[in-house]
Amino acid sequence: MLYSNSIIADNVSWILNEDIPDTFECTAKFRYRQPDNKVTVERLNDSKVKVIFHEPIRAIAPGQAVVFYQGEECLGGGTINQVYRENKQLTYVG
């Protein structure tokens, strides 16, 4: 019950001003000092994304930050709003 497969994050800010693709792979962190997690990011609009985990991740909760990386470079980040397991919504912050 503690593992999830994807999230929706909003209030996303991008570090670089260059065009961010609509869909791309990178790594993400959800906690300080946590290992990088491989993810696929799908941009829903300029400040909202769906993040699909390549492997289930434990104890993800609304209100936490998600930060995106390409190697050592920080791409940006946002706030987790919804958490999903097997396409079923587990949580929502309105």
Nearest to 66 by CA among 16, 25, 21, 10: 10
- 65 close to 51: Cβ distance less than 8 angstroms: no
- The structural domains of the chain, ordered by start, are 3-92 (2.40.30.10)
Residue pair 80/7 in contact (Cβ under 8 Å)? The answer is yes
Q: How far apart are CA 9 and CA 38, in angstroms?
A: 16
CA angle, residues 66, 37, 31, in degrees to nearest 5: 45
pTM over the 0.95 mark: no
pLDDT in single tens digits along all 94 residues of the chain: 689 999 999 999 999 867 889 999 999 999 888 889 999 999 999 899 999 999 999 989 999 999 999 999 999 999 999 999 988 888 656 6
Q: What's the rounded Cα separation, in Å, for the pair 47 and 69?
A: 17
